[in-house]
Each structure stands twice: as C-alpha cells, then as structure tokens.
C-alpha cells in the first residue's frame, strides 16, 4: 500500500482552508447584502404604507367635505308633494304654491331649478332648488298655510337620513301593533304617553321592545 506524501496532504489542507475562507467571506458578503436589501425593502414598504395612509386620509377628508357641501346645498332645497302629473309647467305651479304661503311676495326668478323626482308622468314629489336660504326659511315658517290644501312641503333628506327614517317608521309600525302611540320627531321615535324618545341606535340595541 503506497504511503501518503505529507507535503501533498498539507497542500490539500491549505487549499481547503483557503477555499473555506473564500466562501465564508462570500457568504458574509451575501448575508450583508441581503440584510441591506431587506432594510431597504422594509423602508420601501413603510414609505408605501405612509403614502397609502395619506391617500386614505385625503379620501376621507374629501368625502367629509363633499358630504358637508351636499348638506349645505340641501338646505336650499324644498320638496313639494301633491303636484299632479298632468301639470307640465312645474315652475309656474311651484310659484303659485309658494306665493300662497308667502302672501304673494315670492318671485319665480328665485327658483334655480325644479324637477320631478322619479318618473316624469307620475304624481311623484317635485324638488325645488332655491337661490336664497332666507326664502327657504320663510316658506317653512309659514308652511302651516298649506294645511287646508292638497299640497305639502318637506326638506330634502340625505340617503342616510332616509334610511334612518325608514327604520324609525318600521319601529313605529311595531309600536302601533302593540297599541303604543308614537310619533317620529327630530330623527327619534317619541312615545306619546311618557314623552321618552329613542334614536335608531337605541331601538336597534333593544333599549325598548314592542311585544
């Protein structure tokens, strides 16, 4: 059996050590690169998250501003009920109705726009957009004059308010079945016997039940 040359063995060991050192260095460099890339990636993710948060906040702020503007615009609007479908000149009809309320002081040029809600050939309500909020307040203040007529007026409600009213009406009907007299006032269901009032949230939470 041939003997191993000690010099060759030492040479192989040195080569192995150098290779091991080389690869250890490369692995360390790679780990450092990965670490740096990971930090950079996390920074990018954080930066994008901040951008997303800003966009979401801007969207919320914009939605709030739009909602506020819509509420302001709605203050200038009046819904008129009772105008028959065959009445085609809505501005003239509204002019007559509002003049009855205000005693002849209303002028047709105070109307910015008027149109029927829903189908044109129907008895659906008419939305009137006015130019002056003072006129709107005067009309509602003197709207009691319409009690003996076929017409009535109401304020324009937002989608949320309509949904709220719909829910209140459902609870009002339940109360009626249980012979409990109620009325809807200021977005609340009022018990006529006790005078206590309940919001939609109160009713949904079961603070009062109609069995």
182 touches 169 (CB < 8 A): no
pTM of the model: 0.59
Quote the pLDDT of residue 7: 53
Which sequence spans correspond to the domains of the chain?
10-74, 75-156, 160-204
146 touches 152 (CB < 8 A): yes
Average pLDDT over residues 44-49: 80
Banded model confidence at residue 36, pLDDT cuts 50, 70, 90: low
Quote the pLDDT of residue 140: 93
Banded model confidence at residue 78, pLDDT cuts 50, 70, 90: very high
Average pLDDT over residues 182-192: 86
Sign of the dihedral through C-alpha 24, 29, 33, 36:
positive
Percentage of the chain with pLDDT > 90?
Answer: 25
Q: Does residue 134 carry a pLDDT above 90? A: yes
Average pLDDT over residues 94-101: 92
Starting at the earlier edge strand, list the strands of the sheet with 152-155. 111-116, 126-130, 77-81, 152-155
Quote the pLDDT of residue 135: 94
Quote the pLDDT of residue 113: 94
Quote the pLDDT of residue 44: 78
Q: Give residue 82's region: left, alpha or beta (phi > 0; psi -120 to 50).
A: left
Average per-residue pLDDT for the chain: 84
Banded model confidence at residue 5, pLDDT cuts 50, 70, 90: low
Average pLDDT over residues 76-102: 90
Average pLDDT over residues 139-154: 90
Banded model confidence at residue 53, pLDDT cuts 50, 70, 90: confident
Quote the pLDDT of residue 31: 76
Cα–Cα distance, 16 to 9 (Å, whole number): 11
75-156: which CATH number, 3.40.190.10, 3.30.70.330, 3.40.50.300, 3.40.140.10? 3.30.70.330
* Residue indicated by tokens 């609340």: 188
Average pLDDT over residues 117-135: 87
């Amino acid at each position: 059996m041939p003997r191993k040359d000690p010099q060759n063995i030492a040479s192989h060991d040195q080569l192995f050590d150098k290779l091991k050192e080389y690869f250890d260095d490369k692995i360390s460099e790679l780990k450092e690169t990965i670490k740096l890339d990971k930090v950079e990636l996390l920074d990018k993710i954080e930066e994008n998250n901040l951008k997303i948060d800003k966009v979401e906040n801007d969207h919320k702020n914009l939605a709030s501003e739009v909602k506020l503007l819509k509420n302001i615009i709605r203050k200038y609007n009046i819904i008129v009920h009772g105008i028959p479908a065959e009445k085609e000149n809505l501005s003239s009809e509204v002019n007559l109705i509002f003049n009855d309320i205000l005693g002849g002081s209303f002028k047709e040029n105070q109307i910015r726009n008027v149109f029927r809600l829903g189908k044109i050939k129907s008895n659906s309500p008419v939305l009137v957009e006015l130019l002056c909020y003072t006129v709107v307040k005067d009309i509602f203040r003197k709207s009691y004059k319409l009690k003996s007529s076929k017409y009535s007026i109401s304020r324009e409600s937002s989608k949320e308010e309509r949904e709220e009213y719909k829910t209140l009406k459902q609870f009002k009907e339940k109360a009626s079945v249980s012979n409990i007299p109620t009325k809807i006032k200021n977005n609340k269901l009022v018990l006529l016997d006790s005078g206590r009032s309940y919001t939609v949230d109160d009713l949904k939470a079961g603070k009062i039940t109609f069995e």
